[in-house]
Amino acid sequence: MNHTLYMRRALELAEWGRGYVSPNPMVGCVIVHQDRIIGEGWHRAYGGPHAEVHAINSVENQSLLPESTVYVTLEPCAHWGKTPPCANLLVEKKVKKVIIAAVDSNTLVGGKGIEILKNAGIAVETGVLEEKARWQNRRFFTQIEKQRPYVILKWAQTEDGLVARENFDSKWISNAQSRQLVHKWRAEEDAILVGKNTAAYDNPRLDVRDWVGKNPIRVVLDSHLGLPKNLNLFDQSIPTLIFNTVKSETIENLEWIRLSEINPKVILKELHSRKIQSLIVEGGSQVLSQFIESGLWDEARVFTAPTRFDRGISAPILNQNPSETLSIDTDRLDIYYHG
């Protein structure tokens, strides 16, 4: 059987869960009988059935399962959470073989699903397209292995390297197509962060109004609580966290969180404790530079527009070449990966 072919299909299915399953990983599952796919599934929503359950339920003739091979992008879970263990379900259905792309790196559960399968006499193979599976779930693996969210830095700059004019005005540097792409990205991540100046001068909404999907949790840095309360960020339409050094308080959809200090390490530790798996940092330049200088970032997405301000606020500096460069209408999009 072509293990790579079927695992690629499982990875395609897993992708349908992007933006809906966090803090769980995206997982896809394909069931094959005599070189023919008889069942498919993916993890569709956090708290809902896992990929293996959907795949098994999609098989019309359940009597074929004992002679079938199951392809799954991540090791089947072995613990009771919001749903029963998938490893036990595969044992119950007496499947013949399970092919796994990546093993769960959580030391509390990793390897236990494989152990359950093998103890039941089910053949297990791991590592098929493992690198692709880990990359697809890099947010999940980052929060487990680094104990922090996956951090994406994003900004738009002019061709002369400025992110705003001298009066902090930055609307609009990137074109409409680029801005819509940013809304798509927002729908795929758990949270989005801006500093005080960006909140005050741009008055952003940080929502996905130009895309279809869920709004990320908004995170605002306001050390001394100097921001006016009539900003869009405080309209209570979206859960919003305000990191400060003054008070802790909660009202509907707004939570002020008092921290000892406001820096990337402390911020990410707090977000990790709230099971926030990924974070987009959208500005301003000083906040972005703090994340760069601390080394606490994983990816940067930088738009460069064919316009000049001549004077203004300088863009952050990344001392490396981009891994990818794309054209978004008139804008150039450079993508960087850290480490």
CB atoms within 10 A of CB 262: 18
**Residue position matching structure tokens 């779930």:** 137
Other Cβ atoms closer than 10 A to 1: 12
Structure tokens at 264: 């990337």
Nearest to 279 by CA among 182, 158, 149: 149
- Burial 103-126, CB ≥16 within 10 A → b, else e: bbbbeebeebbbebbeeeebebee
- How many Å apart are CA 44 and CA 51, to the nearest integer? 8
Contact 144, 105 (CB under 8 A): yes
Tokens of 28: 């896809």
Q: Which two tokens stand for residue 167?
A: 């009066």
Angle at 66 between CA 61 and CA 50, to 5 degrees: 75
Active site residue 52: yes
Cβ atoms within 10 Å of 12's Cβ, excluding its own: 14
Is residue 255 within 8 A of residue 240, CB to CB? The reply is yes
Compute the CA torsion angle 324, 26, 24, 289 (nearest 10 deg).
10
How many whole angstroms separate alpha carbon 130 and alpha carbon 112? 18
* Catalytic residue from among 15, 40, 52, 255: 52
CA distance 316 to 302: 10
Kindly give the pairing relationship between strand 254-258 and strand 162-164: unpaired
Catalytic residues: 52
